[in-house]
Amino acid sequence: MFFVILIHYGEIALKGKNRGFFEKALSENIKKTLEKGFFKSIKVGFGRILLELPEGVDLKEVEKKLSTVFGIANFAFVLKTTAEIKALKEKSLALLEKEDFKTFRVTAKRAEKALPFTSQQVNEELGGLIQNKLLKKVKLENPDLTLFIEITNKEAFLFIKKIKGLGGLPVGVSGKAVSLLSGGIDSPVASLMAMKRGLEVLLAHFESVPYSTKQSIEKVEKLAQKLNVYQKPLKLYLFPFASIQKEILLKCQEQFRVILYRRAMFKIAEKLANEEKAKVLVTGDNLGQVASQTIENLNTVGKAVDLLVLRPLICYDKEEIIEKSKKLGFFETSILPFNDCCSRFLPRMPEIHSKINEVIKEEAKCEKLSELIENAFKNAKIKKIN
């Protein structure tokens, strides 16, 4: 019965002269997500997207896939007809006759004001019809069922259920970002929040073989696969980090280790960003959560690069982040007991209030650091997640 989906977007409608760019990006992302066989055509017009489906398509699977596309405010499986009162009456009865409800309301909207009837006239005509033919009662507040009708210049769409989308902006419209993916709870959530604001995310992970295990890398790959649901395609870069850790371990004061690890990671991530024309770095940093995430230490680490660093989770409580991780399906993978490279060789008394000049002096003790960073960048393993 339902072979058409009406897709609404939120913020995109406010983009003025640039709206076409955002609409095109959203349409392309919908195509990538649905793939061939799940749709016949996709059209943009009158502030909405119309998706036509082939007969026999799995509607539940289509709903599941559309629920992973950023930029969609809501969508509905609709009956399509002509923009005429007679046709609207026929389709409304066909749509509602098998529904179980006692009270209802009709909510009509016209995108084309030149039509020979008003939205209120549609509400009244169809409301009276349903009341008389189906013996139902009109109730404007909190009815059992709402019949939604959207009318363009030639077509009309009827539906009774809106399915909530993810909102946000289409992935890619804000440019690219390099997201540092540790394998813990925070960084996958931060990566997803960056996607929601229209960033195409490149994932950067730092592995420390032989100090880190094969399982820790497999864990990160699983998280990347979960993120791939929301962005297609997705690349995961695995950078070798053991030689850098060893250099810092042997030559620098113990309390600065994690800060220096993080600065080196940022420098590698910036190289990737420059190569891929990414505009920002993204991290799962959360203010005060661990010793390396005090204001002073975040500032010291951030000054290792020229790029803007986005920290989507900076002011969240840990419980809020865990709740998001669970809701998104990341949590069970994130808590697997396979730690990343930063958990190796941790200082007994880490520096909490670092000063940039002191850290730069410590960094200067690592004469080979620039060379090691360049080698790590050149020897990255790239995994395309599909």
Asked whether residue 22 is marked as a ligand-binding residue, the answer is no
Asked whether residue 284 is marked as a ligand-binding residue, the answer is yes
Asked whether residue 19 is marked as a ligand-binding residue, the answer is no
Measured CA to CA, the distance from residue 342 to residue 365 in angstroms comes to 20
Asked whether residue 206 is marked as a ligand-binding residue, the answer is yes
Asked whether residue 293 is marked as a ligand-binding residue, the answer is yes
Measured CA to CA, the distance from residue 118 to residue 76 in angstroms comes to 23
In degrees, rounded to 5, the angle at the alpha carbon of residue 161 between the alpha carbons of residues 158 and 163 is: 120
CB 202 within 8 A of CB 179: yes
In the beta sheet, which residues pair with residue 105? 146
Looking from the CA of 279 toward its CB, the CA atoms found within 13 Å total 9
Q: The tokens of 111 are what?
A: 């995108």
**Strand ranges of the sheet holding 381-385, from the earlier edge strand across to the other edge:** 308-310, 280-282, 176-180, 200-207, 234-240, 381-385
Asked whether residue 205 is marked as a ligand-binding residue, the answer is yes
Q: At 70, which amino acid appears?
A: F
Judged on CB neighbours under 10 Å (0-12, 13-18, 19+), 293 is buried
Measured CA to CA, the distance from residue 26 to residue 71 in angstroms comes to 6
Q: Tokens 């865990």 appear where?
A: 322
Task: Kindly report the backbone phi and psi dihedral angles of residue 292, in degrees, each rounded to the nearest multiple of 5, phi listed first.
Answer: -80, -5
Judged on CB neighbours under 10 Å (0-12, 13-18, 19+), 351 is buried
Q: Tokens 């992302």 appear where?
A: 29
Judged on CB neighbours under 10 Å (0-12, 13-18, 19+), 364 is exposed
- The sign one gets for the Cα dihedral 242, 244, 247, 253 is negative
Measured CA to CA, the distance from residue 234 to residue 120 in angstroms comes to 47
Asked whether residue 263 is marked as a ligand-binding residue, the answer is no
Going by C-alpha positions, the residue among 350, 360, 253 that lies closest to residue 293 is 350
Binding residue numbers: 180-181, 205-206, 262, 284, 293
Binding residue numbers for ATP: 180-181, 205-206, 262, 284, 293
